[in-house]
Chains A and B, each alone.
Chain A
Amino acid sequence: MKIPILQLKNILLASIQVDLTDEDALEFQSDVLRKAAETDAAGIIIDITALDVVDSFMARILNETATMAQLLGAEVVISGMQPAVALTLVEMGRELTHVKTALNLDQGLEKLNNCIAAKNGIVTPREGNRRDND
């Protein structure tokens, strides 16, 4: 099960649409990191709206992916986590500690862009278009 990773300017976008086996999750992790390095991406959004279970393994993969992406210079935002999934993770004591989260893809993109701009020392416009940085 290959998860497509799309590139929008300096951002990578992946949407996980099906339940992943552990192997799928590991493959996705290495794909995303490889692509981040290849494209010199400034940010990555992983949308998990369709995931109805995020167990300790998946949580670890997401955390690790974010940490490693940061080492490659890319910020990561996880968008669309279902409320019941978030609740379960907190109850298990497994919050996504290293990852920024957003309610949906739209807010995720905004958060990511703000965060990339802040990192590059650009003052973000309060609303409307954001600038590309280079």
Chain B
Amino acid sequence: MTKKTMEIKNQRDVIAARQAIREMANNLGLGLADQTRLATAISELTRNVIQYAGEGTCIISDESDQTTLRIRAVIEDHGPGIPDVDQALADGFSTGNGLGAGLPGARRLVQDFNLESKPGHTKVTIEMIRRKW
């Protein structure tokens, strides 16, 4: 199992994080479409960290077993948190001046998406899951 922890403090880190997950996906044999989905989802989630919490971490890991290929990313910060998670996940909701497309968009790109938030802690976990054959 490979695992990589990255600090997310600025825009460069956003780019580094999406390159790292692309590389992991590529090493595990995922195709271009899946690599791009993962890189794009990470881009959205780590940008939110910078934008709303200032800084945080992104941990990517290979959680595959014999039958299933599974890449997980955990994006975490200790910023203000999201008061209403359902609202934040709805298309078009933004407290920044964004389109509110980041969270719902990222969610559509992966098989598993979990968002937990309270004041002082926000954690998003995503997984791309593919059957091996």
Partner of A92, one of B11, B32, B98, B101: B101
**What are the 10 tightest A-B residue pairs by CB atom distance, in nearest-first order?**
A92-B105, A21-B11, A84-B36, A55-B43, A56-B101, A84-B32, A84-B33, A19-B15, A53-B39, A88-B36
A sample of 11 more A-B contacts (CB under 8 A), given A56-B44, A60-B99, is A55-B40, A57-B47, A82-B36, A83-B33, A87-B33, A87-B36, A88-B109, A91-B37, A93-B91, A93-B104, A94-B99
Interface range on chain A (Cβ under 8 Å from partner): 20 to 34
Please name all residues of chain B whose beta carbon is closer than 8 Å to the beta carbon of A23 when the two chains form the complex: 11
Residue on B nearest A57 in the bound complex, by CB: B47
Q: Could you tell me how many residues of chain B have their Cβ less than 8 Å away from some Cβ of chain A?
A: 27
- A-B contacts, CB under 8 A, total: 69
Kindly provide the distance from the CB of A23 to the nearest chain B CB, expressed in whole angstroms: 6
In contact, A92 and B109 (Cβ under 8 angstroms):
yes
Instruction: Give 1 or 0 for each of B44-72: 1 = CB within 8 Å of chain A CB.
Output: 10010000000000000000000000000
Residue on A nearest B105 in the bound complex, by CB: A92
